[in-house]
Amino acid sequence: MAVTLKVKYSRSEIVSGLQSYDLKAEVTEASGVSDKIFVMQRGVDPYPSEIGVSDVFVCLADPVDLEEIPADSPNLGEEMPYFRVDTITLRFRSMDILEEVKTLLNADIVALVNALNIADTLDVTEEIDYA
């Protein structure tokens, strides 16, 4: 089964003089793979929120991350501060940086889908006889 993902991007309106611009990326459809492809880390924000928990986007998951990093919340009992989510919101100082990061996210998502599709096709077979 081919792996496919659909991601919806929403961004701030371009208005002169804004001090920051937000980009929201949300996986809206996933086939053959989890929709939780964004890796977050709990507790690294130097400015924690009012509720005392801070979650920071780290990277897009790779195929190994999808297997090893839990979805939705970290497993702090095993000292794993990382977890995966289906939606991130990032804030940037300029629209140019926002567009650059969006382009990089797109490239990483394409690479993830390609890697997962290639992993599904085991073309190289080796048979070893141990005596």
How is the chain split into domains, by residue range?
Answer: 4-11+20-119
User: If you search the block for the tokens 């073309």, which residue do you land on?
Assistant: 123
Separation CA 58–CA 41 (nearest Å): 6
Confidence label for 74 from pLDDT (cuts 50, 70 and 90): confident
pLDDT tens digit sequence for 104-120 = 999 999 999 999 998 87
Q: What is the pTM assigned to this prediction? A: 0.83
pLDDT tens digit sequence for 18-41 = 688 899 999 999 999 999 999 999
